Amino acid sequence: MSAFFVFDAFTEFFSAFTALAVAYYAIRAHRVLEDSRMLALNLGFAILGAGMLLHGGIKVKIALAVLSGVKTPPARMLPEVRIGYVIAFATQFAAYILILIAMLAGERRFEESLLIPPLAIPLIEYDARTEGLLALLTALIAIRAGLSYSESDSKWTALVAVGFALMALSHALLVFGGPRLLVTAGISRLLGFACLLWMLVGVSRVGE
Amino acid sequence: MTAKQRYRSKMRICYDMLRVIQEEGGEAGPTRILYGANLSYERLKKYLTELKDKGLIEEVQTNGKTVYRLTDSGRMFIVQFRKMMEFARAFGMIL
């Protein structure tokens, strides 16, 4: 039980720090390029990272409680887990929308048809509807990056596409498999963020 | 999917001018920069002043002709700009 929470928290922290690193790079890019889309990208990844840090922190707290022998009800019953998930979902939803806006800004078809559906968020934990929504958004980002790759042939774009495709897969696994596939989904998300980290390291070495 | 044609940003124009000077071996005359960076004469004058003020290029006289020389800061700017362009491209953004 505690090992599962430690692994889950590790994937959450790794993803959070990668997202924050991308956010930092995006703000540097904004200073150099003076392109407002970079601000949207920065904000998106910063929100994503902050939400994941909080979620990871809650998981570590529960893991420590379990390790220290404190009697706790099943994880899904704990209010902290539910609150953490709701915050993680809300931040991921907002972040993916911002990332999508940053990537699609300038596309006339997108600007003419942008509609963000209103959402009412009850307290939930690994709900199929929320995970489905996140799977859809990450899949859209992956498709957009994939289309860009077909035009630019840049391996960094391919890594972004693969990264978000793996994140979409991790959310889709939770839709179809529920919490029993949490570890597999965690690995998929970890690999997705590893792709983003790989892209970041590669890009920072351009011209050296 | 074709991206909408975007106007070049000020920074992109500065980068294009510096790139032309670098491709010419670190020194280039105004006409070469004008054609290479695809600028009007008015815009060329404006941006050359700005690049000089920022210390990215310096104006020198060679054989009675005015040429613009890339400084170390200018070279660093080109490297940084290329990295950030690759980063933007990774997310499918055309500058």
pLDDT in tens, A24-82: 999 999 998 888 899 999 999 999 999 999 988 888 887 777 777 766 666 555 677 77
pLDDT tens per residue across span A157-179: 999 999 999 999 999 998 888 77
A201 and chain B in contact, CB less than 8 A: no
ipTM: 0.78
Residue B35 resides in a domain: yes
A37–B83 CB contact, under 8 Å: no
C-beta atoms of B91 and A145 within 8 A: yes
**Within-domain flag for B4:** no
Query: How many folded domains does chain B comprise?
Result: 1
What's the pLDDT band for B93 if we cut at 50, 70, 90?
A: confident
Q: Which domain holds residue A56?
A: 2-204
Contact criterion met (CB < 8 Å) for A207 and B92: no
Sheet with strand B65-70: strands edge to edge = B27-28, B65-70, B57-62
A–B interface: beta-carbon pairs under 8 A = 87
Total tally of structural domains belonging to chain A: 1
CATH number at residue B17: 1.10.10.10
Q: Tell me, what's the pLDDT at A120?
A: 44
Residue B60 covered by a domain: yes
**DSSP designation for A77:** G
User: B94 CB near a chain A CB, below 8 Å?
Assistant: yes
Mean per-residue pLDDT over chain A, rounded: 83
In a domain, B1, yes or no: no
Residue B86 lies in a domain: yes
| Average pLDDT of span A175-185 | 81
Q: Does residue A144 surpass a pLDDT of 80?
A: yes
Question: For residue A156, what are the contacts with CB-CB under 8 A and spacing of at least 6?
Answer: A199, A202, A203, B86, B87, B89, B90
**Phi-psi label, residue B39: left if phi above 0, alpha if psi -120 to 50, beta otherwise:** beta
* Chain B residue nearest residue A28, CA to CA: B84
Give me the domain span that covers residue B57: 10-90
How far is A45 from A42, CA to CA, in rounded Å? 5
Q: Among all chains, which residue has been given the structure tokens 């978000």?
A: A164
Nearest residue to A50 via CA among A22, A24, A19: A19
The pTM of the full predicted model, rounded to 2 decimals, is 0.81
In a domain, B17, yes or no: yes
Q: How far is CA A127 from CA A52, A70, A151, A178, B72, in A?
A: 17, 27, 36, 8, 55
Using a CB–CB cutoff of 8 Å, tell me whether A129 touches chain B. no
How long is chain A? Answer: 208
A98 is written with which tokens? 């911002």
- Angle among Cα A131, A198, A172 to the nearest 5 degrees reads 15
